[in-house]
Structure 1
C-alpha cells in the first residue's frame, strides 16, 4: 500500500500515512468535538472541544504508529528488514523486505502488534483512573479514556484470525507450523479474511436497513476495505504459489543499462542503449561502481528541453536507501509484495554491494507464464 503523505523516517524506516487513516483522524476529531465531548461535559467552550478533539486524533495516529513500529523492531531482531510503514484505516502496514523463514518468527512479528495496542490500552486506562483520582478536568479524562478504549478495539480487531490483519498472520503461522507449507497457510488466512470482510459488509448494511442506525456504515466500510486488501494479498499469494523456489537470479535482467549520477540528461538521452531500454527506471551507478540510486523515466521525460544540458541525473534519482533491493539468491516469491508496492515496480539486484541486474514486475510475469506453460527455466 502506497502512502498518500510521507512523514519522514523513524528508526531508519520511512513512515507514511494513507488517505484512509487521514480520513479516520478527521472523523475522530469531528465526532469527539461535535458529539462525545459536548454530550459528556456540556458547558465547555467550543475551542476546548475542538482542541482536545484534534489532540486525541493525533494521539490515535501515534497509537497506530506505535503498533506498527513494534512490528518493525521485532522483524529487525528476527533478521527481516523493513522498507517502510504506512498507516491506514485498519491500523497500518509494515512492508517487509523478504519473509520470515520460520513459523515462530512469523508469530512473533505478527503477535507483537496487538500486544502493543493492548499495553497502550492498559496504560491509558491507568492514566485516566489516576487523573480522575487527582480531580483532573473532565474533558482531559474523557480524552484519555477514549484513547484507552480505541487501543483496546485496535488490539481486539487486529487479533481477529483473518488476513491482512495481524491475527491473520498468526493464523498463517499456525497453519504453516501445522502443515509445513507457507503458501497453503497463506491461502487459508486469505480465505478467512475474505469471509470476515463480506460478513462485516453485509451485516453492516443489514443493520442500517433494518434498524436505521447509521453506525452500521462503519462496519460496512471496514468490511469493504478489508475485502479490497485481502483480494490484493490473494493475488500475491497466488503468484507466490506459482513461483515456488525460483530465485531472483533466474528472472533478473543481468548487466542492465546504467547511468552515472554526474551525467546530464541531454548526454544520457543521446545514448543508444537508453532507446532500447524497456524498464520504467534506470539504475544510477557511480564511476567507482557504487550503486547511487534509481532514476524514474518519467522524471527524465519531464525535464524541459532547454534544461536538459544543465540538469544532471543525480538531481532526479531516488537514493538507493529508498529503492527495493534484492540478492541474486533470494526467492522471487518474497520479492513480489515489495515490487507491488514500489512506485517503479523495479528492484535492484545487488551482490557484494555491486549491481548485477534488475528485476521488474514484467520479468516476474514472464517467468510465471513460462511456469504455467511448463517452459524450461533459464538458469
Structure 2
C-alpha cells in the first residue's frame, strides 16, 4: 500500500493510536516496536477493541483482513505524517531549545488560540514518534500548528524538520542539556540550530530573542527574522517588571501579570507575545491568553500546603535551568527558604563537575536549608545535607518537622521529586 492510499484511509479514520490500552473506536493502530515490546503482537487485540485497521511489519501478524503489512511501521508513521502535513493548509511553527520548550509551546498556543484554530504538541511528545503524532492531529480546519521538537543528539532536529516542514521557528535558548548525547555545549548549539538551518535554507521566517548573544550572532545575516528585546529599539520591545513570585511584563502601555513563577519564564512569555503580535492577535487578547495560562505537570507550579509555599519545578532539570531556578529562588522575598535539589541526568562525563558547581552555587546562596538528593549530588564536596536516594531523604523528613517554609523542589524527571509533597 502506498502512503497516498494509506492517507486516504487516514482521512476516513483520522485517529492514530500506538497503545492498545488507549484504543479508540475506528482508530488506526500502528504496531510500533521498542526495546522491550513488539507492537505487532498486539495488533489483533487492537482490532478486537475497535481499531479500524492495524499497521504491522511482521508477516505472521498480517493474517487479519484489517491488518496492513508494511516494511517498517515507524517509517510508515513518519512518512504518513509528512504526507499529511503537506496535504493540510495549517501554518506550522517549529519550536526547540534546551529549556522552556513545553511552557513556551503552551503559551504560544494560549495566545494564538484567541484568534485561530490551533493545535499543538500534547505534553512533551516531541521526538521521532511524538512529532508525527502531532502532525497527524492537524485537521482540515486547523490554522496554526505548534510543533515542539526535542533532541539529545545531532541531526535529530534536522530529521524532525523534514517531517514537520515548519513555516516559522523559534529556539528558546541554548543550555547545558543532554550533554551526554551532544558531547558539549557547542554540540548543543549546533544541534538546536538545525531548526535555523532548515528555515534559512527554505526561505522561512525565524522568531528570536535579540538579547541572546548566541542567537543574535547566528542570525546576523538572516533577513527574515523577527525579534524581541528589552534593550534594542530596532526590535519589538517587551519589559520585565518583576517576578516575586509571578512574572509581570510591560508591553506598550499594557501590563501582563502571569501565573508563572520565575524570571526565567520571562522569555517564554516574550516568545508568545511576539508571535501573537506577528499574527495580528490583538494585545488585549494576548494578555488574556497569557494571564489565563496556569502551569501544570510539575512545571513552576505554586502549591500551598500545611503552611508552606512550594515552588514545584520537578518536571526536568539541567545545569542551566537549575541555576536559573536557584537565582530566582534567592531573589524571592521570603523567610525560611528550603531547597530540595535532585540529580540532573544525561550529563555524561561532565556530571561530576556540573553537580559540584550547582552544589557550590546553592552553598553560596545561604538558604536556610538545602537538601541534595541523588547519587551524583551525594558525591559532591560540600557541607549541605546529602542523600544518596529519595528513600534516604524520606527517612529523614519523616522525623523532621518543616514549619512555614518557602520551598523549591527542582530535579530531573527520573528523580520524581514531586513525591516530596507527600512528606511535607
- After TM superposition, the score normalised by the length of structure 2 is 0.25
**Which structure has more helix as a fraction of its residues?**
1
Task: Choose 1 or 2 for highest CA Rg.
Answer: 1
- After TM superposition, the score normalised by the length of structure 1 is 0.28
**Which structure has more strand as a fraction of its residues?**
2
